[in-house]
Structure 1
Amino acid sequence: MLIIAIKIVYVMLSLSLLMAFIRLSRGPSLPDRVVSLELIASIVVAFVGVHAIDSGVSSLLDVAIVLALTSFLAAVGFARFLERGGPR
């Protein structure tokens, strides 16, 4: 039963990654693209977490934490960039 649930989660994460990538490529404005890029980073963290559960390798959770912290710092950097006027 757990194997089926993990496969369903992989499919759902893949679909959400595809939709976020579409928003990244077609986003009408820079803030839309920044939000979709942050969403993609969160989905990648979820992929790593699910893979850690699937494979039983607990050190992958450390990788997920580092990815989450890095994406948070990138979000702060993008927000400051957009606050100061974005590309001129």
Structure 2
Amino acid sequence: MIAPDRLYDLCLLIAFVAVALAQLLAMIRLVMGPDVSDRILALDTMVVDAIGLIVLLGIAQGTQIYFEAALIFAMLGFVSSVAYARFILRGDIIE
């Protein structure tokens, strides 16, 4: 039987590897995307993956400041994704 603290560390390591792999695959899609919409979606996916990594780092460190940073990063990521999509669709951001 695995000790609970070692199981916790193992699960945290697996989560870090999974989210880092998702980040790498999204980066590949960002570079190789055949269309602009694929690149926008890959960029948004990378923001979500970065938020996941920040939250996992907060869990690993045991501090709450990372969760607040992840919330701020999520708000900025959403606004930047919407602004970039509007720029691609209309050619301007502010009407």
Question: Aligned residue for 1:68?
Answer: 74
Aligned-residue CA RMSD in angstroms?
1.2
CA positional deviation for 1:66: 0.4
Question: Aligned residue for 1:47?
Answer: 53
With structure 2 as the length reference, what TM-score do the two structures score? Answer: 0.85
Identity %: 28
With structure 1 as the length reference, what TM-score do the two structures score? Answer: 0.92
> 3-state SS of the aligned residue for 2:42?
helix
> 3-state SS of the aligned residue for 1:57?
coil
CA positional deviation for 1:83: 2.2
User: Please, which runs of 5 or more residues in structure 1 have no aligned partner?
Assistant: none
Report runs of 4+ in structure 1 exceeding 4 Å deviation: none
Aligned: 1:27 with 2:33: yes
User: Please, which runs of 5 or more residues in structure 2 have no aligned partner?
Assistant: 1-6
Number of equivalent positions: 86
CA positional deviation for 1:85: 5.2
